[in-house]
Amino acid sequence: MAPRRTVLTLAGAAVLAAAVGVSLPTPPDAAANVRPQKVVVFGIDGLVFSKVAPLNTPTLDGLVAAGRFSETWLPANPMAPTFSGPGWSTIATGVWPDKHKVLSNNWGSTTNLAQYPDFLTRMERTNSAKSTFAIANWPPLTTTAVGPPIFTDEIDTKISVSGSLPVAEADTEIVTKASAHFKNVGPDASFVYFHAVDTAGHNCGTEQACYRTAIEQTDANLGKVINSIKSRANYANEDWTYIVTTDHGHVPTGGHGGSSIEERRSFVLEVGPGIPNGTTKIAKNVDIARTVLEIQGVPISGSWGLDGRRLGAPATDTFDTLLGSLKPRVDETGIPSTVLGWTQTPPTGWRIDNSRMGTGGMTEWRGWSFTTDEFWNRAQRDQWRENNVRARGVFAVADSDEWSDKTTSGLFDSTLVSRDYDVAGKPYVLVIFKSHYRKEGLETATMTVSFDGGPEKEIVRYTGDVIAKHEQYNVTVPAGASKMVVRWRLSNGDNDFYWAIDDPWVWRP
């Protein structure tokens, strides 16, 4: 039998590509080409943004008031430690460490940076007429100090400020040289790096005066660079977008590399034409590269394997409709009561079948629950929950390990049941979701489908770990079937780890 061909409309192809993490060429936007589009990514190393509010930081305060802010979360070991190398590589390349393979601050030749280059290099390779610029004083960003640089030599102008200078002097030199380049050249896309905040974090921790002073000085430096842009002769005829981010956080006493919430903290702040002010909880650091490329009208190829999407893209995940209904902890007393992060009330049309579920256990995890990265990871560190990176916003979790932290009777056995999907007249459908599973012991994870209330058909059974993957399964639709339901079941669990899924949907040709 000849293989089945799938014919997609342009709209259908775009929806499918977005869901499975594949990118399609960006259509030309005539309106966006009327005015020159400029974008600058400002990297402030080691900035814990929660420390900014009480300080004298008029530049950051103004950007927050004018733009869109999202707290974001980084992976941890074994995917990658919370070091600068993995952090900046993720931001620059738009893929997670399991792809770019920068897993330390001294990576040698054992990376995939050639396969996943930085966003400025992608611009140059796509359209060399675009003007690109990068400046930094942390050598691995722009030099071959520890291996291939994160930002390559294909960039039009790349300035490496001496890493041996005291960071305050180095940041001042960055301000001077970047300001002159912005005023005189006005590159289309840029990366500008500041180091002093991270150095202060290491020297005195995030609770001391030297850290606060470094934030305030960096804010002033950021303001000087932005003012140089505003002083451009043609500034009134250009559209400038600013994106501010960081590569990692710090523990209060200083330092990073581990899996704590403080070390995994990052943020994305975006300010520019058409960007509404406010906050969101679904952005990711991998979104930055994709956003720069789309602002610049770069055709996005699916072969690039980018993990991000454009910042501010409308949410299509049904689980994210639960953001406003998340509750504070009940039995998880180690989680601050101010952190809202779980519910067992599913989205409209969905249900949780706990008819075979054991009794007792932790309330938050008694069967499938809907939760967030922060809440779930505060419940338990260092069991790879931190590496559920391809989920965003609210996702579903069946966690027999956490459920068993309180006296139980019986086993964990819970099924998440989807809404009805209309499959009438379809020869097949694709069941698509993000999956993060760790197996320990005798628990079983299965996905099944059923048609028109009939028996379940097993589509997949996990026999080992499945870490942060896009899953896609082709399901044949029986002749005459009209409705399909999908079930995700974690059974026979007895203190035996977890299964998390996100962004589930069914593509129907």
Local confidence pLDDT in tens for the 509 residues of the chain: 333 323 333 334 344 444 333 334 444 443 445 899 999 999 999 999 999 999 999 999 999 999 999 999 999 999 999 999 999 999 999 999 999 999 999 999 999 999 999 999 999 999 999 999 999 999 999 999 999 999 999 999 999 999 889 999 999 999 999 999 999 999 999 999 999 999 999 999 999 999 999 999 999 999 999 999 999 999 999 999 999 999 999 999 999 999 999 999 999 999 999 999 999 999 999 999 999 999 999 999 999 999 999 999 988 999 999 999 999 999 999 999 999 999 999 999 999 999 999 999 999 999 999 999 999 999 999 999 999 999 999 999 999 999 999 999 999 999 999 999 999 999 999 999 999 999 999 999 999 999 999 999 999 999 999 999 999 999 999 999 999 999 999 999 999 999 999 999 999 99
Residues 264 and 61: their CA atoms lie apart, in Å, by 23
Which structure tokens are listed for 164?
């041996």
Which structure tokens are listed for 399?
């966690």
Q: How many angstroms from the chain centroid is the CA of residue 352? A: 27
Which structure tokens are listed for 367?
């069967």
Residues 116 and 114: their CA atoms lie apart, in Å, by 6
Find out whether the peptide bond into 78 is cis, omega within 30 degrees of 0: yes
Whether 490 and 427 have beta carbons less than 8 Å apart is answered as: no
Cα 171 to Cα 51, 88, 156, 254, 320: the distances in Å are: 20, 18, 21, 20, 40
* Tokens 């097993």, located at residue: 458
Q: How many angstroms from the chain centroid is the CA of residue 156? A: 28
CB atoms within 10 A of CB 418: 22
Whether 291 and 308 have beta carbons less than 8 Å apart is answered as: yes
- Sequence letter at residue 66: A
Q: How many angstroms from the chain centroid is the CA of residue 280? A: 12
Residues 119 and 132: their CA atoms lie apart, in Å, by 10
- Exposed e or buried b for every residue in 321-352, given b needs 16+ CB within 10 A? ebbeebeebebbeebeeebbbbbbebbeebeb
CB atoms within 10 A of CB 38: 23
362: left (phi over 0), alpha (psi -120 to 50) or beta: beta
First to last CA, the chain: 20
Residues 499 and 396: their CA atoms lie apart, in Å, by 8
CB atoms within 10 A of CB 195: 26
Which structure tokens are listed for 302?
């699916």
DSSP for residue 382: S
Using DSSP, state whether 11 is helix, strand or coil: helix
Q: What are phi and psi of 114, to 5 degrees?
A: -65, -35
DSSP for residue 327: B
Using DSSP, state whether 336 is helix, strand or coil: coil
Residue 180: closest CA among 198, 165, 192, 196: 192
* Tokens 């760790």, located at residue: 438
Residues 439 and 502: their CA atoms lie apart, in Å, by 18
Residue 364: closest CA among 324, 413, 330: 330
- Sequence letter at residue 220: A
Using DSSP, state whether 203 is helix, strand or coil: helix
> What does pTM read for this prediction?
0.92
Q: Which domains does the chain have, with CATH numbers?
A: 16-304 (3.40.720.10), 318-507 (2.60.120.260)
Residues 294 and 310: their CA atoms lie apart, in Å, by 7
